[in-house]
Amino acid sequence: MRTSVGIIGGGPAGLLLARLLHRTGIDCVVLESRTRAYVEERQRAGMLEQGTVDALRACGAGDRLNAEGLVHRGIELRFDGERHHIDFPGLTGGRTVTIYAQTEIVKDLVSLQLDGGPTLLFEAQALAVDGVEGGEPVVRFLHEGRERTLSCAYVVGCDGSHGIASAALPAGASRAYAHEYPYSWLGILADVPPSCEELIYARGEGGFALHSMRSPSVSRLYLQVPNGTDPADWPDERVWDELAARFAVDGDWRLERGPVTAKSVTPMRSLVREPMRHGRLFLAGDAAHIVPPTGAKGLNLAVSDVRVLAQGFAELHRSGSSRLLDRYSEVALTRVWQATRFSYDMTKMLHAQPDSDAFEARMQLARLRRITASRTAAAELAAHYTGLPLAL
């Protein structure tokens, strides 16, 4: 097989890139190692920045998003038994965020691609990328029981945090900056209407808790748990009791409980690869960087990466100029480092330190009090949460 842009990974980054390239007349092939059902059901992100929503609409993937997405005008910060609303439009000149599950974005993009879009192969596992420093890199992959090759002008690794594309960067060509956090998130999906209208980020007695949602009838909730936690040690009743304790406030508020339909534990880490390109290989999305989910930035960064890349490829296709493509890593990393810093600060501000450092706990409260007392501090949080502009 031969194509202009070989894309490894059919998650949000790979599928959106394929869609954007297709619309500018550039041919590409997407190789996805899992089945269609698996990628469409994988529970992950839910909070979309305005720019992400705009990008999905602009490429024709906005129909269901417009009908089913829940527009949110802020979040609630909960600590010390108090509730504080952060008003996004008021603090950012009108910006909002939207709840629309990653599973639904993937379904929308897959169905557009299978309906006359570029080739998308499921159960096609990339094994290696060869020749990224030469003129025609080749992706070797396994499909239907045999090894095949895809020759490309360029390869984009959109294969997530456990993919193989980053391994094709020769030692010394790119550096990984990483940070591990001493806690994980236990996430549940529950068939119960959300107990809130906005997301609640709570710094509770026993640690962090987040109340999110997927629809007016489905809630998504997370609890900070120690690294290495086995979800089997958290029967549903224990999860609900702990959530209720961490969300407890002075005054009237109740956490509604319902049947739990999914439960999993995710470790938290930050990682940035710099640069995000070597020769004819580009990395985008989680293949290039990981953020802890506290800032809700992972999917949004994947989308902004591929928007930059798609514009670079479009310029090359149109005019033969690689000016923008050559700036990809620099442009993308400017945004990536800001989101990495924001996610890190949100994480450190809201999670209980396992060694219960009393001084650190007071620092967390001082940060939260500043955000709720100062319009400037709140505006800074709102600007990052709703998404910094993408400077192309």
79 Cβ partners below 8 Å, 6+ apart?
202, 203, 365, 368
Q: Which positions from 181 to 220 touch ligand PHB by CB under 6 A, shown as an x/- string?
A: ------------------x----------x-x-------x
Please report the DSSP string for 322-336 in residue order: -HHHHTHHHHHHHHH
Stretch of residues binding ligand RFL (CB under 6 A), selected from 10-18, 63-71, 319-327, 374-382 = 10-18
Whether 297 is catalytic: yes
Stretch of residues binding ligand RFL (CB under 6 A), selected from 5-13, 87-95, 192-200, 225-233 = 5-13
7: nearest Cα among 271, 275, 283: 283
Gap between the Cα atoms of 5 and 150, Å rounded:
10
What Rg value do the Cα atoms of the chain yield, rounded? 21
Angle at 80 between CA 76 and CA 83, to 5 degrees: 25
Instruction: Please tell me which residue in 22, 278, 289, 297 is annotated as part of the active site.
Output: 297
Residue 9: name its binding partner from ligand RFL, ligand PHB, none (Cβ under 5 to 8 Å by kind): ligand RFL
Report the residue from 30, 45, 91, 255 that binds ligand PHB according to the rule CB under 6 A. Answer: 45
14 binds ligand PHB (CB under 6 A): no
Burial of 279 (0-12, 13-18, 19+ CB in 10 A): middle
CB of 8 to ligand PHB, least distance (A): 25
End-to-end alpha-carbon separation of the chain, Å? 33
Q: How many CA atoms lie within 13 A of 52 on its CB side?
A: 31
Report the residue from 184, 270, 294, 304 that binds ligand PHB according to the rule CB under 6 A. Answer: 294
Whether 344 is catalytic: no
47 binds ligand PHB (CB under 6 A): yes
299 binds ligand RFL (CB under 6 A): yes
- Structure tokens belonging to residue 387: 């998404």
Gap between the Cα atoms of 89 and 383, Å rounded:
10
Report the residue from 14, 46, 69, 207 that binds ligand PHB according to the rule CB under 6 A. Answer: 46
Task: Output the furthest CA–CA distance in the chain (Å, rounded).
Answer: 66
Residue 296 C-alpha from the chain's centroid: 6
Whether 216 is catalytic: no
Contact residues: ligand RFL, CB under 6 A: 8-14, 31-34, 39, 44-47, 102, 125-126, 158-160, 163-164, 185, 187, 266, 285-286, 293, 296-300, 302
Residues labelled as active-site residues:
72, 201, 293, 297, 385
Contact residues: ligand PHB, CB under 6 A: 45-47, 199, 210, 212, 220, 293-294, 296
